[in-house]
Chains A and B, each alone.
Chain A
């Protein structure tokens, strides 16, 4: 079975500071990796995904994540955050070829002015 661990339940940072949200996964088979963002009282939106190829993937709003197979990690980073980035971020995995998603516990990112 697959599992996902997000090491930080809350991450407070100041605006324009860099941030890293950590995600580690466990799986005996190859997986796809995802980061989703959830704004208050809303559903999830896909932020970025790793399927194959380049281990560094980027989103359109400045986030990036790097797949590290040896460390089974998929940490999310942004060099300079904005107030609008305040949200809950979920890391998720799915087995390649399957559709089920297994989510981590979520990390609440709070941006302080």
Chain B
């Protein structure tokens, strides 16, 4: 199956700094990627839809100025958490759909654990 990678797998940063997380589709192109946030022992919450060549679409309640998304190419989307605070600590997961047929199966990255001190 298709592979989606994320980098870094974990990051620890100080409060007030910015952190960039990369999501790459390794063997297929993805015009759309999704960013999720998962708190401990909770479900995945969709944060935004990343669109190659255009602005990201954010879900209600997600601050677009805080979570900057850039879909730089057909295989790379980045999520930058700006001025991170401890409440931003979470597990961030991206996914990318593989086009084909009437259903585009989504492939998930392994996740990035962010800890803000």
A positions within 8 Å CB-CB of B? 32, 36, 41-46, 49, 51, 90, 97, 99-106, 108
Contacts and interface: CB of A to CB of B under 8 A. Distances in A.
Contact of A100 (B34, B111, B113): B34
A51 B105 CA distance: 11
B89 to A, nearest CB: 15
B45 to A, nearest CB: 8
Interface of B: 4, 6, 32, 34, 41-46, 49, 93, 95, 97, 102-106, 108-111, 113
A42 B107 CA distance: 13
Contact of A106 (B42, B109, B113): B42
B111 A41 contact: yes
Contacts of A90: 43-44
Contacts of A36: 108
A90 B95 CA distance: 15
Given A41-B113, A46-B105, A103 B49 contact: no
Label chain B's interface by main secondary structure: strand
A106 B108 contact: no
Contacts of A41: 111, 113
Contacts of B104: 99
Most buried by A among B6, B104, B108: B108
Contacts of B34: 99-101
Contacts of B102: 51, 97
Contact of B108 (A32, A43, A99): A43
Contacts of B41: 106, 108
Contacts of B45: 103
A106 B49 contact: no
Contact of B111 (A43, A102, A103): A43
Given A46-B106, A108-B41, 20 more contacts: A42-B110, A43-B93, A43-B109, A44-B108, A45-B108, A49-B103, A51-B102, A51-B103, A99-B34, A99-B97, A99-B104, A99-B106, A100-B49, A101-B46, A102-B46, A103-B43, A105-B42, A105-B43, A106-B42, A106-B43
